[in-house]
C-alpha cells in the first residue's frame, strides 16, 4: 500500500478551560479608570460569573492545541456533499477586516456610511445578475434563514391575493431544512417522490398541485447532484394554479453563467454565500443566505434594503407589503464583504469556469469510482455524485465504516446517509478548487478502502485509527446529555 497522507503526528492533550488557570490571572488589558468609582445599587448588583482566570499564554496554547484537533479545507480535501467545501481565499478575510468597515456601527444615518451601503448595493446587483432574478435582500443570515424568508414571502403573497393556502410541495431530493422552514410558516409539506431517473416528473406535480397549495420548494440542481430538467414545465403547472416556485439555490455553484433561474420559472431563490461564493464555514457559521426574487415579488422582500438615488445610497424601509425585518441589522455584513470580494476577483468568465470545473471534478470522481461503489443513478451529474454502500453489504461494511476509514487516509469523509432517497448514501462534492492530482489520490484511497472492505473489514469497523479520539458514544451523549462542564 502506498504511503497515505495521514499520520499520527504530534498533537497535545489539553484540559478544559476551567481545569486550568489561577485566580487573579488575566489575558486582556483593562485600562486604569479615569473616572471616580460609582455606587452600584445593591438591588441590581450580582456576584459576577464563575469564570476561570487564565493568562495570555494559557489562552493561546489552549486554542492552538484545540485547533490542531480540527480538520479544515486548508488541511486537505473536504468533499462533503451539498456543503461545497471549496477553498476560501485569504484576501477576502483581509478585506472584511478593513477598519472603516469592520468598525461601522449599524445604526448610523445613511450619510455617515456610504461605503458599506455602496458595497451592499453592488452585491445586490451582482447576485441578481448571477441568478437572473430581479431584486435581492441581503438580510438572511444563513441558507435556512433565507428559506424562512422565502416561505414568509409565499405567505405574504397569497395573503395579498386574498387566498389562504396551507400546503407546499417538497420533493424527496430537497434539503432537510426545507420542510422545517415551510412548517414555521404554517405550510404543511406534501412530499413529491422523485422519478426513477432521480428527477421530478411533472405529471406527479400536476397530480398534487391544487389551489390549496402555496407552491413548490425545489432544490436545483437537486441533492442527487442532478439538474431538474423538467423545471420549466413544473413551474408552468405551479403558476397555472396560482402557486409560486421556490428554488433552494444552495447548489448555484454548479450552474453559474449557464442557467437563468428566471427562465426556469423560479420566483424566489436563496443563495448560500458560504457555499457558492467561497466564504469560510467557520465550523458551522456564520453564513449568509441572500434571497433573490422576480420583479412582481420585490415588494414583499424584507426591509430595509439599499437603494441608489442619483449618486447616493440609502436604506429604504417604507414598503407596506414587505414581510418585515428578518435580522437585527443588515445581515451578516462581514460575510457579504467576502462574497463581494470574491465576485470582484473572479468576474463573469471565471465564475462560469468555477461551475464547469466543479461539474467536471464531480463527473470525474463518478466515472472513476463507479466500478468500486454502487452508483444508483448512472447519468451525468452536476457538482456532486451520490454512491451507496450496496456493493459492501456482503462484507458487512457500511457507509459509516468507509467514511471513518477515509480519515485514516487524510480525508474528511463525504456527506453520508443523505439524501434519504438513497440508502447508505455517500455524497461526494469535490468542488472546483481540487486539482486532478488531489482527485486521483482521493480516488486511489477510496479504491484501497473498497479492497480493505473485502479483505480486512475489521480495519474499517474499528476506524478511524489515528485521530485524536476514536469513534464516540453518541447514544449515551443523547440519552444522558452533558451540555456544560
Partner 1 sequence: MRFLPHTDEEIKSMLQAVRVASLEDLFSQVPPDCRRDAAMDLPAPITEWELNEQAGAIAGMMEVQPDFKVLIGAGSYDHNIPSIIPALTSRSEFMTAYTPYQPEMAQGTLQGIFEYQTLTARLLGMDAANASIYDGASALAEALLMGIRISKKKKKVAVSKAIHPHYRQVVTTYFQPTDFEVVELPYLADGRTDFSGLAELDDLAVVAVQSPNFFGVVEDLSAAAAATHEAQAIFITSFTEPLAYGLVKNPGSCGADIVCGEGQSFGIPRSFGGPGLGMFTCLEKYIRSMPGRLVGQTTDLDGKRGYVLTLATREQHIRREKATSNICSNQGLCAMTAGIYMASLGGTGIRELARLNYDKAEYFKAELTKAGAGIVFSSPTFNEFVVEFAKPFKSAADRLRKKKIIAGLELGKYYQELAGKYLFCVTETVSRKVMDAVVREVKR
Decide: 420 and 172 in contact? Cβ < 8 Å.
Answer: yes
Give the pairing type, strands 415-416 and 426-428: antiparallel
Residues 62-101 that bind partner 1 (CB under 8 A): 62-64, 66-75, 78, 80, 83, 85-89, 91, 93-101
Nearest distance from C-beta of residue 432 to partner 1, angstroms: 6
Query: What CA–CA distance (Å, rounded) separates 356 from 349?
Result: 11
Query: What CA–CA distance (Å, rounded) separates 355 from 359?
Result: 6
Decide: 108 and 454 in contact? Cβ < 8 Å.
Answer: no
Q: Does 5 bind partner 1 (CB under 8 A)?
A: no
Q: Does 240 bind partner 1 (CB under 8 A)?
A: no
Nearest distance from C-beta of residue 394 to partner 1, angstroms: 25
Residues 241-300 that bind partner 1 (CB under 8 A): 255-260, 263-264, 274, 278, 280-287
Nearest distance from C-beta of residue 190 to partner 1, angstroms: 10
Residues near partner 1 (CB under 8 A), total:
201
Nearest to 153 by CA among 315, 15, 311, 296: 296
Q: Does 17 bind partner 1 (CB under 8 A)?
A: yes
Nearest distance from C-beta of residue 233 to partner 1, angstroms: 9
What's the alpha-carbon Rg for the chain, to the nearest Å? Answer: 25
Only one of the segments 34-42, 200-208, 421-429, 449-457 lies at the binding site for partner 1 (rule: CB under 8 A); that segment is: 34-42
Q: Which is nearer to partner 1, 118 or 454 (CB)?
A: 118
Residues 176-195 that bind partner 1 (CB under 8 A): 176-177, 179-186, 188-189
Query: What CA–CA distance (Å, rounded) separates 406 from 77?
Result: 11
Residues 393-412 that bind partner 1 (CB under 8 A): 403-404, 407, 412
Query: What CA–CA distance (Å, rounded) separates 334 from 94?
Result: 11
The backbone torsions φ and ψ at residue 244, rounded to the nearest 5 degrees and listed phi first, read -120, 155
Q: Does 145 bind partner 1 (CB under 8 A)?
A: yes
- Does residue 5 sit in helix, strand or coil? coil
Which residue of 9, 49, 162, 320 would you call a contact of partner 1, by CB under 8 A?
A: 49
Nearest distance from C-beta of residue 98 to partner 1, angstroms: 5
Which residue of 23, 162, 196, 310 would you call a contact of partner 1, by CB under 8 A?
A: 23
DSSP bridge partners of 314: 307
Which residue of 5, 21, 241, 374 would you call a contact of partner 1, by CB under 8 A?
A: 21
Other CB atoms within a 10 A radius of the CB of residue 333 amount to: 20
The backbone torsions φ and ψ at residue 337, rounded to the nearest 5 degrees and listed phi first, read -60, -40
Q: Residue 228: which region, alpha, beta or left (left: phi > 0; alpha: psi -120 to 50)? A: beta
- Contact mark string toward partner 1, 433..452, x via CB under 8 A: xxxx----------------
Q: Does 60 bind partner 1 (CB under 8 A)?
A: yes
Residues 370-389 that bind partner 1 (CB under 8 A): 379-380
Decide: 168 and 244 in contact? Cβ < 8 Å.
Answer: no
Residues 117-136 that bind partner 1 (CB under 8 A): 118-119, 126, 129-130, 132
Amino acid at each position: 500500500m502506498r504511503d497515505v497522507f495521514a499520520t499520527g503526528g504530534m498533537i497535545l492533550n489539553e484540559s478544559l478551560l476551567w481545569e486550568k488557570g489561577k485566580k487573579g490571572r488575566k489575558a486582556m488589558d483593562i485600562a486604569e479608570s479615569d473616572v471616580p468609582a460609582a455606587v452600584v445599587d445593591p438591588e441590581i448588583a450580582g456576584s459576577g460569573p464563575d469564570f476561570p482566570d487564565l493568562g495570555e499564554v494559557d489562552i493561546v496554547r489552549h486554542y492552538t492545541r484545540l485547533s490542531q484537533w480540527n480538520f479544515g479545507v486548508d488541511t486537505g480535501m473536504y468533499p462533503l456533499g451539498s456543503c461545497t467545501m471549496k477553498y476560501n481565499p485569504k484576501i477576502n478575510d483581509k478585506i472584511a477586516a478593513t477598519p472603516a468597515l469592520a468598525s461601522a456601527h449599524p445604526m448610523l444615518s445613511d450619510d455617515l456610511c456610504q461605503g458599506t451601503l455602496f458595497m451592499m448595493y453592488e452585491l445586490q446587483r451582482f447576485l441578481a445578475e448571477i441568478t437572473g432574478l430581479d431584486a435581492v435582500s441581503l438580510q438572511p443570515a444563513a441558507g435556512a434563514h433565507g428559506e424562512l424568508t422565502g416561505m414568509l414571502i409565499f405567505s405574504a403573497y397569497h395573503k395579498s391575493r386574498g387566498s389562504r393556502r396551507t400546503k407546499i410541495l417538497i420533493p424527496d431530493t430537497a434539503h432537510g431544512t426545507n420542510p422545517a422552514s415551510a412548517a414555521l410558516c404554517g405550510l404543511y409539506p406534501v412530499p413529491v417522490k422523485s422519478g426513477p431517473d432521480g428527477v421530478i416528473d411533472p405529471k406527479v406535480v400536476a397530480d398534487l398541485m391544487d389551489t390549496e397549495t402555496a407552491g413548490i420548494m425545489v432544490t436545483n440542481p437537486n441533492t442527487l447532484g442532478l439538474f431538474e430538467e423538467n423545471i420549466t414545465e413544473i413551474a408552468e403547472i405551479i403558476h397555472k394554479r396560482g402557486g409560486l416556485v421556490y428554488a433552494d439555490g444552495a447548489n448555484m455553484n454548479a450552474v453559474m453563467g449557464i442557467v437563468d433561474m428566471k427562465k426556469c420559472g423560479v420566483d424566489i431563490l436563496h443563495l448560500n454565500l458560504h457555499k457558492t461564493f467561497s466564504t469560510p464555514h467557520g465550523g458551522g457559521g456564520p453564513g449568509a443566505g441572500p434571497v433573490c426574487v422576480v420583479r412582481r415579488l420585490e415588494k414583499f422582500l424584507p426591509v430595509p434594503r439599499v437603494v441608489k438615488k442619483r449618486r447616493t445610497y440609502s436604506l429604504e424601509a417604507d414598503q407596506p407589503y414587505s414581510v418585515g425585518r428578518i435580522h437585527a441589522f443588515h445581515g451578516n455584513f462581514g460575510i457579504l464583504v467576502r462574497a463581494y470580494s470574491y465576485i470582484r476577483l473572479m468576474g463573469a468568465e471565471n465564475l462560469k469556469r468555477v461551475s464547469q470545473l466543479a461539474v467536471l471534478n464531480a463527473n470525474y470522481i463518478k466515472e472513476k469510482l463507479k466500478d468500486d461503489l454502487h452508483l444508483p443513478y448512472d447519468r451525468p451529474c452536476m457538482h456532486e455524485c451520490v454512491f451507496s454502500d450496496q456493493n459492501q453489504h456482503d462484507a458487512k461494511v457500511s457507509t459509516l465504516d468507509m467514511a471513518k476509514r477515509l480519515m485514516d487516509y487524510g480525508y474528511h469523509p463525504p456527506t453520508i446517509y443523505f439524501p434519504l432517497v438513497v440508502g447508505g448514501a455517500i455524497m461526494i462534492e469535490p468542488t472546483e478548487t481540487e486539482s486532478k492530482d488531489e482527485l486521483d489520490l482521493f480516488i486511489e484511497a477510496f479504491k484501497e478502502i473498497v479492497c480493505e472492505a473485502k479483505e480486512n473489514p475489521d480495519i474499517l469497523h474499528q476506524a478511524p485509527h489515528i485521530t485524536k479520539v476514536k469513534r464516540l458514544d453518541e447514544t449515551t451523549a443523547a440519552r444522558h446529555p452533558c451540555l456544560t462542564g
